[in-house]
Amino acid sequence: MTTETPMKILFLDDEQAVLNAMRRSLRREGYELFFTTDPDEAVRLIGEQKIDVAVSDHLMPEMTGLEFFALIRRLHSRVVRIMLTGQADMETTVRAINEGSVNRFLMKPWDDAQLKSILQETARELAVRRQHEPAPANILPTPAPPTTIRRDAGGAIILDGEGAT
């Protein structure tokens, strides 16, 4: 992550009022923010927008935060996961860590300063991680150009040499 590329954060909560409060709190922080009440849309956005951080409520009607993070862990393991909940008991906490690889917890009602601090720390951690990531393996070397190009008796083009296939 460079200074030109802001951290992309997705917020998933079944309460629109929570999402609106998050938007107001973070609108001037320099992040690219995404908000949804729909877990399916959240999964789609994570893939399409290359989201860096997912913040999700736990108790939602369509899918729990645990289920959401377990899915994200399988599909997009690089995404940092932060659970926002008002009902964090020990069993939920352990399951969130073990099943969803949740990185951080934030209790409702949250403290804006704590939220901003957690996101700033996460941005620093992501920047360090990206500096140490190897170059993408799917980039193939450019083949050498053919040494000769000629036409055969029928007019077809024939490439001869090191780069020809």
* Domains in the chain: boundaries: 8-131
Spatial distance between the Cα atoms of 36 and 9, rounded to a whole number of angstroms:
11
Question: Which superfamily is assigned to 8-131 in CATH?
Answer: Response regulator (3.40.50.2300)
Q: Mean pLDDT, to the nearest integer, of 101-129?
A: 91
Cis peptide, bond prior to residue 109, ω within 30 of zero: yes
**Of 39-43, 78-82, 125-129, the least confident:** 125-129
Q: Mean pLDDT, to the nearest integer, of 53-57?
A: 96
Question: Nearest-CA neighbor of 126 among 10, 2, 34?
Answer: 2
Residue 148 has pLDDT above 70, yes or no: no
Contacts of 144 (CB under 8 A, 6+ apart): 161, 162, 163
Band of the pLDDT at 114, cuts 50, 70, 90?
very high
Structural contact between residues 122 and 53, judged by C-beta atoms closer than 8 angstroms: yes
φ, ψ of residue 72 in degrees (nearest 5): -65, -40
Band of the pLDDT at 160, cuts 50, 70, 90?
low
Question: Nearest-CA neighbor of 60 among 86, 25, 21, 94?
Answer: 86
What distances in angstroms separate CA 51 from CA 5, 8, 23, 26, 46, one per listed residue? 12, 5, 16, 16, 5
- pLDDT for the residue 157: 64
Structural contact between residues 54 and 41, judged by C-beta atoms closer than 8 angstroms: no
The β-bridge partners of 55 are 11, 82
- pLDDT for the residue 165: 47
pTM of the full structure? 0.75
Question: Nearest-CA neighbor of 31 among 115, 131, 120?
Answer: 120
- pLDDT for the residue 142: 54
